Structure 1
Amino acid sequence: MFCRILLTGIFCFAGCISRVDARAAVASGQAAAPAAAASAAAAPAPPLAGRVIEFAVHGAALEGNRLGDSPERRVTVYLPPSYDRAATRRYPVIYSLGGYAPLPAVAGQADFGPLQMIIAATDQAIVHGRLGEVIVVQVEGHNRLGGSFWVNSASTGRWEDFVTRDVVAAIDAAFRTIARRDSRGLYGGSMGGYGAISIAMHRPRLFGTVFAQSPCCLALVAELGPTPAWPALGQLSLEQADAAFRQGDPRALEGMALAAAFAPDAARPPFYGDLPYHMQGDRVVPDEPAHARWAAQLPPARLDREAAGLKTLHGLRIQYGDQDSLRHIVISLPAFHRALLAHGVPHEFHVDHLGHMGRTRFADDAVPFFARTLAGAAADGQRGDRVTGVAGAKADASQ
């Protein structure tokens, strides 16, 4: 009861689990699916013209993390239909960053979840001539706390370096990739969307085109603002957060994950991070310097220093739904769009009338984007024109 009272009102920001779906899954003995997958109706995956393999990557960048997570990771690699026949052909690569998922079993769903939708959409687009043949590499960022948020942290490990150094180097060495920036795309949804933007800002010379779907955590507002949930979270143990997660409520674990990622602190076990707010009398106020450390990690605070790199991208597209239950996304993304325009960063900005994650958004939005911006990914073999600043706000009926 103590745990449940403290959890009341705590934010949910990175692909949270539906309580009803999670509890039903627990009752049936199956892993709970995140809300990013909950919108997808159960359906068998269509047969693939290409093939999928699991590939081991040693994460040198993850060694020595305070959570005790193993640096031995596995990524999922989709190889297009001609890969095994065309022995000398090389292919562009789309790197896809996963969302928040506390358990490895959640990140790679056995049913038709987000990973399967991305792979199936890519495969079908290739088969039907909407996309040239590409390799897709799905990288999951789950850890003991559920998510890395794809940042370098002394507590969780150097997850940005894991992607940009360990994974890219391993994929280029093991597969016939076009190992050039213009032929590397970066995609992510929710926590992965945050990672896509953040990594693109830090490493613009590595990826040529970037798509962020419903990126979380771009501003400390709404769920991430000064609410009583934050001081309450500081009173929970990791065991209580785990217990809440097993009951279908991941929110405390998510808050701990963000703290460990954005404000690592060796002196703050068990999640080794500082929370951004505390109580001052009867008010919730920023807890400095932790709050400033969180804010400094966020892309809007970095634009003055890093906008120049974003201007060199061949494509940048940001998409979200105005019905997203994560209200900080609805508030922060229009502001980030305006900030990009003010800094002269060419980009596309699209708003639909859906929620956090939509079943067909990758097929309907990301596939055509990569087909025209990723070198070698157009169905006719011709790269599309460079993207200019566009703000879209049309309704999207996909779900």
Structure 2
Amino acid sequence: MALEEVEGPPGPPWDRPLRGRFERLTVESGILADNPLGDPSRRPLYVYVPPEIDSGGTFASIYVIQGFTGQLDMWLNRSAFEPTVVERVDELFSSGSCPPAIVVFVDAWTSYGGSQFINSASTGRYMDYLCDEVVPFIDGRYPTAASREHRGLTGKSSGGYGAMVVPMLRPDVFGALASHAGDALFEACYLPDFPKTARILRDHFEGSWETFFERFRKAETMEFERHGVPLEVYGYAACYSPDEENPGKALLPFETETGRLVEEVWERWLEWDPVRMAPRYGEELTSMRTIYLDAGKSDEWYLDLGARAFARELEKLGIEHTLELFDGGHMGIQYRYPRAIAALARVLDPG
């Protein structure tokens, strides 16, 4: 029997047909134009539209943001024997287990690896991009219920950080949040990498950030133990402690030669810690229609402790929330996304 071409997709496990629609858009941002790093102002924007879109009415919108070094096309990556995140979202809404919602996947990549979804003199105005450009664009193009009461934000890791912080700072835009292992309790998740970074710079990059970036950009592959740790630390510094006098540069919270803390810079970082921010933004957090938190009990960056510390601050404020600590680490937890999206869809549904 000879091989012959047939019509249609091959089907699972290679291709799972969607009942809803998945749209890949390209947008041009005025806010990101001329950003300090010279990163692209033209960005991809992905939108999942549920099967019910043609039935009329308006829908909640849920915005999904990525972890550090994440770029939008990574949502289409497939792990062995598992659906992609987009396929999981389609399965969720096709099952009828929660109200339909429009799901928007937002790119906030920078050449330092990420933006933490906040405005920075070193990376650009990524919170403004999300809140003041992407959200109005989606509301103008799709049948969304265009108000904070029907709009939520979710993400993992740095995306989980953004999902906690952006609604505190912009409660006019988002009325519910869900965070998977979001960066929090900075002394637990960040401090251990400072002396590690000092050693890496000393042993591989002549103790120089300039040498690090020069060699990193020429490297054929990214080695996390050699490149990833310093890149993350510098990228976070560009967000939390930008060098206002040198746009595009960062002030580090430790001495490069010794790893010793630079207290005044570290204090700037702590001002951005969700655990420490929560008491200052109690009114904004109280206004959230739901707050969903989760993390693996073996998270390599101790973000299970960060989630618990953030939840404790919510408890002190008398704010209702959900906290789920599950068996697992920081990686391979894509299956958790639909749980958070469903939790948001149930409280944001305009129907």
TM-score scaled by structure 1? 0.75
Map 1:231-250 onto structure 2 (within 5 A).
Answer: 231-232=198-199, 233=201, 235-236=208-209, 237-242=212-217, 246-249=221-224, 250=228
Letter in 1 for 2:21: R
1:275 and 1:166 map into 2 onto residues whose CA distance is 31
SS at match of 2:68: coil
2:175 to 204, 208, 226: 208
Aligned to 1:94: 62
- 1:12-39 CA deviation, whole Å, 9 max, x = no partner? xxxxxxxxxxxxxxxxxxxxxxxxxxxx
1:142 to 106, 109, 118: 109
Is the aligned partner of 1:337 residue 2:304? Answer: no
Letter in 1 for 2:139: D
Unaligned runs of 5+ in 2: 1-11, 202-206
Letter in 2 for 1:145: Y
- 1:172-220 CA deviation, whole Å, 9 max, x = no partner? 1111111021211111111100000000111123212211011124413
Aligned to 1:65: 35
C-alpha contact 1:226 1:285 (8 A) present in aligned 2: no
Aligned to 1:153: 120
1:128 and 1:374 map into 2 onto residues whose CA distance is 18
Aligned to 2:294: 319
C-alpha contact 1:102 1:145 (8 A) present in aligned 2: no
- Cα RMSD of the aligned pairs, angstroms, is 2.5
1:72 and 1:279 map into 2 onto residues whose CA distance is 35
Letter in 1 for 2:45: V
Is the aligned partner of 1:286 residue 2:261? Answer: yes
Give % identity: 29
What's the offset of the Cα at 1:153? Answer: 0.2
Report how many aligned residue pairs link the two structures: 326
C-alpha contact 2:76 2:86 (8 A) present in aligned 1: no
Aligned to 1:163: 130
Task: Go from structure 1 to structure 2 and tell me whether the alpha carbon gap of 1:82 and 1:304 turns closer, same or farther (over 3 Å shift).
Answer: closer
C-alpha contact 2:72 2:105 (8 A) present in aligned 1: no
C-alpha contact 1:260 1:272 (8 A) present in aligned 2: yes
Map 1:251-330 onto structure 2 (within 5 A).
Answer: 251-267=229-245, 272-278=249-255, 284-327=259-302, 329-330=303-304
Aligned to 1:346: 320
Letter in 2 for 1:77: V
- 1:131-154 CA deviation, whole Å, 9 max, x = no partner? 222111001221111111111101
1:78 to 43, 48, 55: 48
Aligned to 1:38: none
What's the offset of the Cα at 1:257? Answer: 1.0
What's the offset of the Cα at 1:267? Answer: 5.0
C-alpha contact 1:241 1:253 (8 A) present in aligned 2: no
- 1:85-137 CA deviation, whole Å, 9 max, x = no partner? 33x422111110111226665x3445469xx7332222212222112221110
- 1:35-89 CA deviation, whole Å, 9 max, x = no partner? xxxxxxx953521001111223332332332110122212100111132x33x42
Is the aligned partner of 1:176 residue 2:143? Answer: yes
SS at match of 2:334: coil
C-alpha contact 2:299 2:328 (8 A) present in aligned 1: yes
Letter in 2 for 1:100: F
SS at match of 1:47: coil
Task: Go from structure 1 to structure 2 and tell me whether the alpha carbon gap of 1:112 and 1:330 turns closer, same or farther (over 3 Å shift).
Answer: closer
What's the offset of the Cα at 1:293? Answer: 1.2
Task: Go from structure 1 to structure 2 and tell me whether the alpha carbon gap of 1:292 and 1:367 turns closer, same or farther (over 3 Å shift).
Answer: closer
1:131 and 1:72 map into 2 onto residues whose CA distance is 34
Aligned to 2:8: none
C-alpha contact 1:226 1:284 (8 A) present in aligned 2: no
SS at match of 1:297: coil
Map 1:41-60 onto structure 2 (within 5 A).
Answer: 43-60=13-30
C-alpha contact 2:23 2:46 (8 A) present in aligned 1: yes
Letter in 2 for 1:254: E
SS at match of 1:123: helix
Aligned to 2:347: 373
Unaligned runs of 5+ in 1: 1-41, 382-399
Task: Go from structure 1 to structure 2 and tell me whether the alpha carbon gap of 1:123 and 1:104 turns closer, same or farther (over 3 Å shift).
Answer: closer
C-alpha contact 1:57 1:170 (8 A) present in aligned 2: no
Letter in 2 for 1:117: T
